[in-house]
Structure 1
């Protein structure tokens, strides 16, 4: 028992050391200056309730670090209100959090907030008068920051900051005891601030009165929003509400307040304009701060380099790269484990996916598949999405306090995708069943053509080709890439003997296509792509057709991206890039697997040649017609709703469309969702895949599971589908 405790202590010590070193590395990016400009742009507004700004973003994105960087050039008084017992950096100011969050009636809380601000400004004035040195080059802001951060560790603040807030609370208590009913007491906080502002102007006269001279930072501010009410359940109030009311009195003074939070209490920090008009929340604290920028012209990267844990860690939020760079070998080797811990909301993954909640499952799947919340929904749905920001690393793109509309996403973060891969490899992890669970519990977009299902098929096949992870989440085969044949062998089952209806995809032959027709070639797929290398661990939704070009696809490979093409082009739904030969990532060495899916019963086991022909890599702009390449492509159409399953090789598609450039292609028509054809569809799990397919036809949900017969409901919406019931009550005969 003692040995386990000792190991745990040593592990925490290493974690804390990496975090502290990471905080002290150079700040990257201009986001502190962006924040300052945003503050300045809102200083003169008279239509807001008070001069404060909520900075809302998920964990590890650099909120606190951005404000710390701002404090090097502008006077910031920092306060961290994190709950006792929770881990994070910077450490909490326990006595301040206790003082501000102690329950009380609205009047009591209002007086407490007023006394606190008065004491805070008086103590800051005292420190500047006694500690500020004019004989050094550092500004007032720099010297005050050094005073407040000196000696800070993961566990506690330094002596100067501890003493600072001890003095603040002692002054606040004196103010409470001496409080009278005279007007002078009411204005005491304003007078205290005015004295501080006068000193700052005398020390640095160049400061403009139109910009804030003092910025208050309330980190982990959601603790202030806990609602309070009387025993009779009358009006509800909170510490934050009363603090905001007191801050309103400073609206004509050069004071600005920042409230930082990952919390789902965003609607409290940024109330609707129908109640109080507030400044729109600030979310842009940056992304990819520490990314290792690669070039396709100089120092050409290799697939081995881009799939290393070091490379993965430097994409996304700075938490990963900073920790990796500042950690020892044990920290570096456990990055996947740490990412899983963060993705699950601060819970260690113990190897049992069955113990994961719906929220945790959603967080995992959203790191691999482009799962989006729908925008029009009820407040309880909004709360579920906010929880994903607060606890499960989802990014807040924007929040409109007037309509309570929220836009969030799980952007490309390869280290989190690898963590999700680790957890999805648990025994009997049924991916479609877990997706169904997410669809049932959350208002997320299901798609309507089955694209999400096909992306899931490819993802499961990729994981099988890579192989199982070890205990720390690293692939046991020590590589995160596979060949094209290795992927396709896991995507489609290899039959004992190849037939026209179920070909052996590895021994399939291709054809050469140009504007005159197609010519069958003898080279089999397995040999042609033997030296290929494919790396992807997650999908992203792309919005512009331009991104199908290999110039973009090659760069997307840097971060393990496969593209779901939500571009309005009906001829292509997804692209997975690969390297045709060797390991170097060059545009002229990039090939693609293109696919379409159809969830319509009119597409059967009979191939539709036009769908395949339309996926022309030159007419679609994937390959540059001015620089033709000798790289074969693979084209697949999934006819998901077909009754008769098959995997057919289509060896004669006829001439290509709108191009004079010939290219080699391997074309396949995959029909149905049979475990005999599709490798990810395991025997015994067919119902999960079928249910997921039916869910993709989401428009039918309105006509199903009703107490009245389905036909009656279809009657209420004529002419929208080909079921006879949509026509028979108003046409003599159905089409």
Structure 2
């Protein structure tokens, strides 16, 4: 799963920033506070219904445990935490809102508030009362005035919670108490319920009364009154769950709180100073901020005392954001669909973030996904962030630490271009982020790349500039160049004569059983002929025999994902992997099902890449028995022997172990050759001394030229772009080691 910003190189690790530097940096970053493009109006009903569908996955259990552990740390840790608040930082469509609301199924009281801006028509809808109080009319608000607003708001919240809950949940036995909590939660977590509307009307009324003379003592007293009046809710019934969350106040779409107003105050920091003022006891009540912007997690205590309100802050630690939202929740189980049907829209849309499957009834989901990926109504192929987003989704771009633009790019990409945040350092300065395997979004990115003749050359030019600046890694052996070459060749091959029945445009509005063009199976024989030229079969030693052996072989990859372990893990790793371990046939078939090709981990012996092959021959038996592979080695910078006709045990190597009776292909790419490009192929029949290796077509290709790669003749702008990227590889060798790669055996078991 592509391109991370996680593991730090100590030689380029930054010094901590002061608060002034933090604010100055924020002013120079692209504006990430605006939401992604609007959802079409009819999707509002679809998403509303999706919030009542059965919840899939264990993210809610994990989040419940995260809050419990936070409370334990607050109560017992030697650290001095700033307050009982934390955050969920993740890109759009990953299920943040549903996760928060799902806590009610764990017996937690959930008070959900959406603070999205008035112009944002997304779902869940904006809650006007809290949004107006906390985010509107604050441009010229002084620190003291906004602090007063926050005191009054939380005082009103606690008072209304006491009145509302106190009248509905008296001191009942545990069975009736659970039923009453469920009924209250069901009302308050239904975005259209009258009870929810009335609750916030009471909050608004009480807020206006308290605002006339707000004090810190008021919010503390209101909090104590609420907790003491309802011990049956806030006191643990059992010692073992005393730290389990009892009440969660959630601010969703919290990005408006990140702004600096005309007085250079950040609203979120004042809001959190108020939360800190009352949350000093052990009561397991938490405030959760959810947003696509990483700044929502940046809540250091202020560096000065607020004299006007006589607030003295203590503590200097905050909790790391929660990132472990679900992935592939709607993916079709491996045995429930034929390998011949994996290109179907309903299957591909199930992988990745849950938003796509939720919106599948809306025919505009392809167009919406394109707009979300670009953060724009139309794709601008010369805009750096848009171009990088489209490329990163498919080609596993590796963003280099230490570059001056890396931090701003990562923040913008998560907030506005669907990049996923995996973890954040404790000081909040660095995030581990990537574009994970998401075949539906990869198809959308492919459509954007090829919707105009200028798009592909333009994005390659943007990429070349970013490589030249040192922001994007090429790889130690030119891995990026060959990823681009092979997948772009497949893109252009299938677009020569696309079938009319295939989905190939963002405006598609048809059947869910239609097939996505980029996921359809492609003949290996035809692809190799397109890649290397029409004379490939007749002029090579491989000849008609190899062509016949591969006549039923197909590929279907739409994107590259990266690995963090050998294809076949060492014996010592078996126990750790446990049931997550796949046998080689299943591992290859799972990549076929999600239309992914593999960039191996840097230490993988013999090979650098793998592309799944499927043999569409019913006589071979089940799909598991029809899988083979193309193994690729980037020869640049190291000695490789997979192209050596005398080396015939590639897939039998202990680190690979993909034995099969079916033919396979090994491809040695030596792209860095400047002169005398060569292309040769040999076909090795089964060796009786190594029956496990099967027949093998071995191809050696050197140089980036239309002599070796014939298809470049037909696409001069693409050839020029790839050659410029290759020239950067020769001038600027890779400076870092590719680490924190994303594909593991566990990742490939999406049913779990």
TM-score, reference length from structure 2: 0.78
- Number of matched pairs: 637
Q: 1:252 aligns with which of 277, 281, 295?
A: 281
Give the match's secondary structure for 1:563: strand
Give the match's secondary structure for 1:533: strand
Residue in 2 that maps onto 1:305 = 341
Q: 1:114 aligns with which of 151, 156, 163?
A: 151
User: What's the CA shift for 1:203?
Assistant: 5.8
Residue in 2 that maps onto 1:402 = 427
User: What's the CA shift for 1:492?
Assistant: 1.6
User: What's the CA shift for 1:127?
Assistant: 1.4
Cα 1:21/1:533, change in 2 over 3 Å: same
Residue in 2 that maps onto 1:148 = 188
Cα 1:611/1:66, change in 2 over 3 Å: farther
User: What's the CA shift for 1:27?
Assistant: 0.9
Q: Is the 8 A contact 1:466 1:475 kept in 2?
A: no
User: What's the CA shift for 1:664?
Assistant: 1.2
Q: Structure 1: which 4+ aligned runs deviate by more than 6 Å? A: 270-275, 473-479, 652-658
Aligned: 1:24 with 2:44: no
Q: 1:616 aligns with which of 614, 628, 650?
A: 650
Q: How does 1:387-536 map to 2 (within 5 A)?
A: 387-402=412-427, 404-425=429-450, 426-428=452-454, 429-430=456-457, 432-439=460-467, 443-467=471-495, 469-470=504-505, 472=507, 480-495=520-535, 504-505=536-537, 508-510=540-542, 523-536=544-557
- For residues 130-154 of structure 1, what are the alpha-carbon distances to aligned partners after superposition, in whole Å with 9 as ceiling and x for unaligned? 445869675343222222234x3xx
Give the match's secondary structure for 2:220: helix
Cα 1:71/1:602, change in 2 over 3 Å: closer
Q: How does 1:286-305 map to 2 (within 5 A)?
A: 286-295=326-335, 301-305=337-341
Give the match's secondary structure for 1:195: helix
In the alignment, the residues of structure 2 paired with residue 371 and residue 401 of structure 1 have an alpha-carbon distance, to the nearest angstrom, of 25
Q: Is the 8 A contact 2:269 2:301 kept in 1?
A: no
Q: 1:371 aligns with which of 397, 400, 419?
A: 397
In the alignment, the residues of structure 2 paired with residue 28 and residue 210 of structure 1 have an alpha-carbon distance, to the nearest angstrom, of 25
Residue in 1 that maps onto 2:319 = 279
Cα 1:59/1:585, change in 2 over 3 Å: farther
User: What's the CA shift for 1:623?
Assistant: 4.7
Q: How does 1:39-78 map to 2 (within 5 A)?
A: 39-44=67-72, 45=74, 47-72=80-105, 73-78=107-112
User: What's the CA shift for 1:77?
Assistant: 1.4
In the alignment, the residues of structure 2 paired with residue 269 and residue 576 of structure 1 have an alpha-carbon distance, to the nearest angstrom, of 45
In the alignment, the residues of structure 1 paired with residue 635 and residue 599 of structure 2 have an alpha-carbon distance, to the nearest angstrom, of 15
User: What's the CA shift for 1:372?
Assistant: 2.2
In the alignment, the residues of structure 1 paired with residue 733 and residue 40 of structure 2 have an alpha-carbon distance, to the nearest angstrom, of 52
Q: Is the 8 A contact 2:477 2:638 kept in 1?
A: no
User: What's the CA shift for 1:48?
Assistant: 0.8
Residue in 2 that maps onto 1:670 = 701
Q: Is the 8 A contact 1:229 1:237 kept in 2?
A: yes
- For residues 657-706 of structure 1, what are the alpha-carbon distances to aligned partners after superposition, in whole Å with 9 as ceiling and x for unaligned? 9956452111221111112331453335543222211222364599xxxx
Residue in 1 that maps onto 2:616 = 581
Cα 1:472/1:160, change in 2 over 3 Å: same
Cα 1:612/1:535, change in 2 over 3 Å: farther
- For residues 51-102 of structure 1, what are the alpha-carbon distances to aligned partners after superposition, in whole Å with 9 as ceiling and x for unaligned? 1111111111111101100023201211110011113221111231121123
Cα 1:200/1:30, change in 2 over 3 Å: farther
Taking only aligned residues, the RMSD between alpha carbons, in angstroms, comes to 3.3
In the alignment, the residues of structure 2 paired with residue 506 and residue 251 of structure 1 have an alpha-carbon distance, to the nearest angstrom, of 79
Unpaired runs of 5+ residues, structure 2, are: 1-38, 304-313, 499-503, 509-513, 570-583, 736-752
More off after superposition, 540-549 vs 418-427: 540-549
Q: 2:115 aligns with which of 77, 81, 86?
A: 81
In the alignment, the residues of structure 1 paired with residue 720 and residue 670 of structure 2 have an alpha-carbon distance, to the nearest angstrom, of 18
Aligned: 1:38 with 2:66: yes
Residue in 1 that maps onto 2:722 = 689
In the alignment, the residues of structure 2 paired with residue 530 and residue 15 of structure 1 have an alpha-carbon distance, to the nearest angstrom, of 44
In the alignment, the residues of structure 2 paired with residue 602 and residue 556 of structure 1 have an alpha-carbon distance, to the nearest angstrom, of 28
Cα 1:138/1:691, change in 2 over 3 Å: same
Give the match's secondary structure for 1:545: coil
Q: Is the 8 A contact 1:47 1:277 kept in 2?
A: yes
In the alignment, the residues of structure 2 paired with residue 569 and residue 601 of structure 1 have an alpha-carbon distance, to the nearest angstrom, of 12
Aligned: 1:223 with 2:256: yes
In the alignment, the residues of structure 1 paired with residue 704 and residue 719 of structure 2 have an alpha-carbon distance, to the nearest angstrom, of 8
Aligned: 1:566 with 2:596: no
Cα 1:568/1:201, change in 2 over 3 Å: same
Q: Is the 8 A contact 1:358 1:441 kept in 2?
A: no
Q: 1:361 aligns with which of 365, 368, 387?
A: 387
More off after superposition, 535-544 vs 669-678: 669-678
Q: Is the 8 A contact 2:661 2:693 kept in 1?
A: no
Unpaired runs of 5+ residues, structure 1, are: 1-10, 180-184, 231-235, 496-503, 511-521, 703-735
In the alignment, the residues of structure 2 paired with residue 601 and residue 160 of structure 1 have an alpha-carbon distance, to the nearest angstrom, of 68
